Every structure is written in structure tokens, then in C-alpha cells.
Structure 1
Amino acid sequence: MTPTTPPEGSEQLMEQLAHAAACYYRSFAVVAGGQGLTLIQGKLLGLLQRPLPMRALAELLGCDASNITGIVDRLEGRGLVRREADPADRRVKVVVLTSEGEGAVQRIRAEITAGLPGLARLDAEGRRELSELLARAFSTGGA
């Protein structure tokens, strides 16, 4: 197999994306820690915009399903999430964000946004363009 040469500028873009991701996750870890959460607990809460099965959470977080059980146990113990039977399949448990969990997610997002002033410097058009570029660059679709 012949290695392909990345398009010109791709390596620089990858470096910029890696830097952006590192800045975001460093900020996220600090902010989540301020809420008494680990990075993975904060990430899990942020994924729960709708109830999700434990297995789906494991896939989204890139970890083993058995790890999710312990994470959810700790979050449930703090009243941030609860488990419910999936209405479509009562054998499956879904994780649901509680109102306390929603509050934690809102505080984390607000503090991260405040801690990343570069995003605030973008006007509405710049944010729209960046959003579209990210969606195109990381699309899992065929187009």
C-alpha cells in the first residue's frame, strides 16, 4: 500500500485542532473539578441531552460498558442522573439527567465559555462559519 501525502496545510490544521482540543479539555477538567466531578463524569453529563442507554454512553465515551456502571453509580449517588427502564425495551436501562444534573451541565458550559475568550471574539458569522467547517471536517456521513 502506498502512503498518501496529506493535502497541503493538513498537518498544520491537525496541530491546530490538537491544540484547540487540549485547551478545551484542560479547561473542561478544571471546571468539572470545580463542580466536584472528574473529566469523564462531566463529559457523561454533557452527553445526556436526551436519555441514553448505558451501552450508547460507553460507545460515545470510548470506554468499556462496565466502566460506565461505576461512573453512573457515582453520579446517581449525587443526584445528578437516574436510571430508568427504556420504554421501547424494559430490559434496557437508560440514563436520564436530573434537574440537578442539568444545572451542573449549565454551570460547566457557562464557565468553559467564559474561560475560552477567543470564541467570544468571533461574531455570529464567524461562529456560524466555524460550526459549518467543523461539521464538514468531522462529518460521519458520505458527503
Structure 2
Amino acid sequence: MTIAVCPGSFDPITLGHVDVVRRARSMFDEVVVGVATNSGKSALLDVDARVELARTALAGLDGVRVERVAGLLADFLRVNGANAVVKGLRGGADFDAELPMALMNRHLAGVETVFVVGDPALAHIASSLVKDVARYGGDIDDLVPPGVADAVRAAVGRKDGR
């Protein structure tokens, strides 16, 4: 059985993420979506909320499960018996950011990274942009799976003291 891990902070999960997971599932028997904490970022949504939103967004996809990554991705890969890491790319900047991580995961866990080119219709969607649009009261409903926009708007309101 081939198992791929699709890791990310998913803060929040977007339609671009769902697209990459759906296409990864067509290549692997199972896809484990690993919701991680990025020490270099300040998350809007806590990790438990991100896990639940991802589970809801991906509930209709057979062979996909969502788990929290508590430590090193390399350890998570080993525990889950992963054959590959899957990462979506929107452009060259994404590749430049992902390449060192792919090499480190191969070094630490012996697992290769497969890059999936994102759907051009979704290439403008990034979690950071979704949060920025929401902070300024813009409509994000068509950028994220159902239910996610409400969670983001609520979190933005809490962070802004509203």
C-alpha cells in the first residue's frame, strides 16, 4: 500500500489544499493530511480547530485522513509508514521554499517529495491572503471549503478585539 503525507499548517485549509489532496489521492492508496505547527508563523486558528476544519473539508474523500503532526515531519512520516510527501506548488517561489524541506525530509526519513502543480484557477489562493482578506472584511467564502470562512471570521474578530 502506498501512503503519502500531505503536510502543512492549513491556517486555514483552502480550496487549493483540497485540490492538491484530491489529486494526491488519485496517485496513492492513502493520503494522510498532516496538520503541523509552523514555528516561524503565528497561527490564527489553533491546531485543534485546523484539524477539525480539515477533517470536515476532506470528509467526502475516501482514503484520506487528517492527523496532527506533533513534532518533526520525519518522525510523522515514519510512524505513518509514508512512501512520499506531497506538496502543492503555485509557482517558482513555492518550489524555492519547498526544496530545502524536501531534501531535509529525504535526509532524515528517506522519503521523497512529490510536487503537484496547483490548479491555475486556484493559484491566487493562499492561507495568508485568505486571512488578510478576512481581516479587512472581504468575502472569503469562495476561497475556502464550507464552514471555514465562518471560523476564520470568528478568529479574526477575536484577534482584533471585536
Q: What TM-score comes out, normalization by structure 1 length? A: 0.33
**If each structure's strand is expressed as a fraction of its own residues, which one has the higher value?**
2
The structure whose Rg is larger is: 1
**If each structure's helix is expressed as a fraction of its own residues, which one has the higher value?**
1
Q: What TM-score comes out, normalization by structure 2 length? A: 0.30
Q: Which has the higher contact order (CA 8 A, sep 6+)?
A: 2
